[in-house]
């Protein structure tokens, strides 16, 4: 099993939830870590929670291609050329039914869940191509495997698009030594639950996946030797019916 010690890692959506848990795991394993997100105060709180480890904080909106390039540049200035990109940034909204889904809300879901990953990945790829190595771990959702009304049509469409994009990108970049892996979590107790149309109870939050569960899956993939790859990994609550 490979060691992540000394490797350079960028975690997008690193201010909370799965991203924050992943950053902590990577730091504990000896990696050099940058976290990215749109909310500077949230990122600063995350950096304080990660103390005494030092992290590089990169602020910007990954749905904008120029800001995505700036985030990758800032991350590499802080931790060095990227060995691992964890593309975790994503969002949902309360107004997710078709009746509520305006063109603006549709575009915001594509921007947060598909465009952001596209821009982060395509900004990171040139450096990885030059070095002929790199690992890109994409945090998708079971909504990218199984369409259902819970996530809403726009969120499902974006996650299905992300699923297809990663499959195609992995096939293109394989010959350049760049590996892609998608993780599809079921319900996870993260701040995205606050955007559910109906409030989620504390009991329900405790019964579903926790951010550390998904971070452990990320670490499993990151620690694999370069000759090995997990193209896709589905992780759900034990009570979840994956049908």
| Residues taking part in catalysis | 155
Residue 8, φ and ψ in degrees, nearest 5: -95, 125
CB atoms within 10 A of CB 186: 22
Residues 6+ apart with CB under 8 A from 45: 15
Report the alpha-carbon distance of residue 82 to residue 7 in Å, rounded: 8
Helix (H, G, I), strand (E, B) or coil at 181: strand
C-alpha–C-alpha distance, residues 129 and 169, integer Å? 13
Tokens of 223: 């620690």
The residues, any chain, with a CB within 8 Å of residue 172's CB and separated by 6 or more, are none
Which token pair is 117? 């990953």
């Amino acid at each position: 099993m490979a060691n992540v010690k000394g490797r350079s890692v960028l975690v997008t959506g690193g201010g909370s939830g799965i991203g924050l848990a992943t950053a902590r795991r990577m730091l504990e394993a000896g990696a050099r870590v940058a976290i990215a997100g749109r909310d500077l105060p949230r990122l600063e709180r995350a950096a304080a929670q990660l103390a005494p480890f030092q992290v590089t904080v990169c602020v910007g909106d990954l749905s904008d291609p120029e800001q995505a390039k700036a985030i990758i540049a800032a991350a590499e200035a802080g931790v060095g050329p990227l060995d691992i990109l964890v593309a975790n940034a994503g969002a949902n909204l309360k107004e997710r039914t078709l009746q509520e889904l305006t063109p603006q809300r549709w575009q915001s879901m594509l921007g947060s869940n598909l465009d952001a990953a596209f821009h982060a990945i395509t900004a990171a790829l040139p450096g990885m191509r030059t070095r002929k190595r790199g690992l890109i771990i994409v945090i998708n959702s079971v909504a990218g495997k199984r369409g259902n009304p819970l996530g809403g049509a726009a969120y499902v469409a974006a996650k299905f698009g992300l699923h297809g994009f990663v499959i195609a990108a992995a096939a293109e970049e394989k010959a350049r030594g760049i590996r892609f892996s998608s993780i599809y979590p079921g319900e996870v107790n993260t701040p995205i639950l606050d955007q559910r149309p109906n409030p989620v109870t504390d009991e329900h939050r405790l019964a579903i996946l926790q951010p550390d569960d998904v971070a452990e899956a990320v670490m499993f993939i990151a620690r694999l030797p370069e000759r090995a790859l997990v193209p896709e990994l589905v992780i759900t609550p034990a009570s979840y019916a994956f049908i």
